[in-house]
Structure 1
Amino acid sequence: MDFKTMYQFLRKLQKNNSKEWMDEHRSEYHSIRDNYIEWLNEMDIQLAAIDPDYTPTPGKKAINRINNNLMFHPNKPIYKDHFGAGLDQESKQGDFYIHLGVNESFIGGGYWHPSSKLLKSIRAAIDYNGEDLKQIVNKKSFKNRFGDMIVDNPLKTAPKGYSQNHEHIDLLRRRSFAVSCPLTEKEVIASNFKEYVVTIYKEMLPFRRYLNQAVTV
C-alpha cells in the first residue's frame, strides 16, 4: 500500500472538496480505496492469527464511506479528509479503529459514546472488578502508548444506583471508554507500518477484552 499517494490525494481533496472534482478524479479515488481495502484484508488475517477472539472483518466491511452524512451535519464538507476503518468489528462499537487523515491520524479502540445498555454493562463490570481495568490502563507501557483514556464530558455526580463514595467513582462517571494512539505521517508511510499496527493492537488488547467481556455478560 502506497500511503504517501493516499495522503497526497486527501490533500488535493481537502482543497477541492466538491462532487465535480471527485467525479473528475473518481478513478484515482477508487484505485487508492481498493489498495487500502487490500491492505486491510492483510491486516485482518494478521490480527486474527494473534488473537483467538478476533472477529474477522474483510476490508470492504471495515472501511468507512468517505462521504460525510450531510443529513445530520449539513455544514460539513461533502467528503471527509481521512480514510477510516474498523477491524475486529463484532459491531460498530468496540472495534479497532484506524484513522488516516490530512489533519489527524491515529489508531483508537474501546467504546465511544456507547448505548445506554452497553454503558450500564460496563459500569456493572467496573462495580464488580474495576481494579482490573485500572491495572490495565495504569500499566506503564499502556500509558506510554495511549496516555489516559479520552475524556468525554463525564457525569458531575454518581450514575444512578452508585454511591459518590464508590472506590471507582472516577471510572463510573465516564460516558466513554476509549483510547487512541496518535500517528505521524512518517510512521504511516514507513515500510514497517503494518508491524507497528500489530504492536499497538497487542498493547490495546487487554483493555478491549475487558470492555468486550463487560458488554457481553
Structure 2
Amino acid sequence: MSLALTLHFLHDLAAHNHKAWMDEHRARYHAARAEYATFVEELLRLASAELEPGLQGLRATDLMFRINKNDRSQLDPEPYKRHMGAGFKPGGRHTPRAGYFVAVQPGGGTYVGAGRRLPDAAELARIRQEIHYNAPAFHRMRQHPELLRHFPQGLDTSQTLKTAPKGYNRTDPDIAWLRLKSYFVWQHFPDSEVLRPDFPARVLEVWQAARPLVSFLNEALEES
C-alpha cells in the first residue's frame, strides 16, 4: 500500500488552506482520504490481532478524525487540519481512555504516538493518584529501554502546571510528573519512511513499545 496520494494532497492543502480550494479539489480529498482509510484498516487488522483485541469489530471510520478543525481560535484562519489522523481505542477515537495514534503529515510531520493527551480534570486526578500510589511501577514503565528506544524524548513534558496540583505538596519527589497535563509519547517520521510499504508494521512495532504506558494509564482511568 502507499500513502503518496495522501501526502501530496496534504502538501497542497497546506499551501491553499481555505474552503474555495477544498471545494475545487474535493475529488482529490476523497481519493486521499480513501487511501488513508486503507492504511488505517491495515493498522486495525494488525493491532487488533497483536496489540489490542478490543479493537476487533471497529472500522476505519470509527477511528479517523475529521479534517475540519472544530476548535479554531480567532487567530487561526485555516479551516482544515494539515494532517489526517486516527485514534485506535476500543469504542472508537473519542473513548475517554488511553490509546494509540497516528497522524500523516508531509514534510516530516507524520507522528506515531500513544497515551492520553489532555485528559479532563477527573481523568488527570485518577492518573496522578495512580502515579502517587504506584510510583515505582510508573518509573519502571516510563524508563523502560524499549519505550525509550522508540520514543527517545520519553513522556511529553511540554505542557505542565506551574505549581503542584491540588492535594499534592510541591516537595513531592514525583512532582515533576504529577504536574503534567498530558501523559503521552510520540515520535516523528520522515516522508521516506511513511512511503515504505512496511510502514504499517513499523507503526505497530512502535505502538508495542508503548503498550505498558497505555495499560498503566487505563488501569488508572478505569478505576471507579
For normalisation by structure 2, the TM-score amounts to 0.88
Q: Distance in 1 between matches of 2:100 and 2:74?
A: 25
Q: Distance in 1 between matches of 2:25 and 2:62?
A: 23
CA RMSD between the two structures: 1.9
- The answer to whether the 8 Å contact 2:2/2:196 transfers is no
Deviation at 1:49, TM superposition (A): 0.7
Deviation at 1:141, TM superposition (A): 2.3
The counterpart of 2:181, out of the listed 167, 175, 183, is: 175
**Residue matched to 1:113:** 118
Percent of aligned pairs with the same residue?
A: 27
Listed as ranges, the gaps of 5+ residues in structure 2 are none
Give the number of equivalent residue pairs. 217
- The answer to whether the 8 Å contact 1:6/1:32 transfers is yes
2:194 is the counterpart of 1:198 = no
Range with bigger deviation, 203-212 or 162-171: 162-171
2:37 is the counterpart of 1:33 = no
Find the residue that maps to 2:164 and give its secondary structure: coil
Find the residue that maps to 2:111 and give its secondary structure: strand
2:86 is the counterpart of 1:85 = yes
Q: Distance in 1 between matches of 2:21 and 2:205?
A: 38
Highest RCO, 1 vs 2 (Cα 8 Å, sep ≥ 6): 2
**Residue matched to 1:139:** 144
Find the residue that maps to 1:54 and give its secondary structure: helix
- The answer to whether the 8 Å contact 2:89/2:97 transfers is no
Deviation at 1:29, TM superposition (A): 1.2
Q: Distance in 2 between matches of 1:153 and 1:163?
A: 19
Listed as ranges, the gaps of 5+ residues in structure 1 are none
- 1:19-70 deviation digits (Å, cap 9, x = unpaired): 2222222112112212221221221121111135533442112111111236
Q: Distance in 2 between matches of 1:22 and 1:154?
A: 36
Q: Distance in 1 between matches of 2:102 and 2:172?
A: 35
- The answer to whether the 8 Å contact 1:87/1:96 transfers is yes
Q: Distance in 2 between matches of 1:70 and 1:214?
A: 28
**Residue matched to 1:212:** 218
**Change beyond 3 A, Cα 1:158–1:75:** closer
Deviation at 1:92, TM superposition (A): 5.2
For normalisation by structure 1, the TM-score amounts to 0.91
Q: Distance in 2 between matches of 1:23 and 1:156?
A: 44
**Residue matched to 2:99:** 95
**Residue matched to 2:17:** 17
The residue type equivalent to 1:119 in the other structure is: L
The counterpart of 1:126, out of the listed 123, 131, 138, is: 131
- 1:48-106 deviation digits (Å, cap 9, x = unpaired): 11135533442112111111236545623122211111112541552311111134110
Question: Which runs of structure 1 show a deviation greater than 4 angstroms over 4 or more consecutive aligned residues?
Answer: 70-74
Find the residue that maps to 2:161 and give its secondary structure: coil
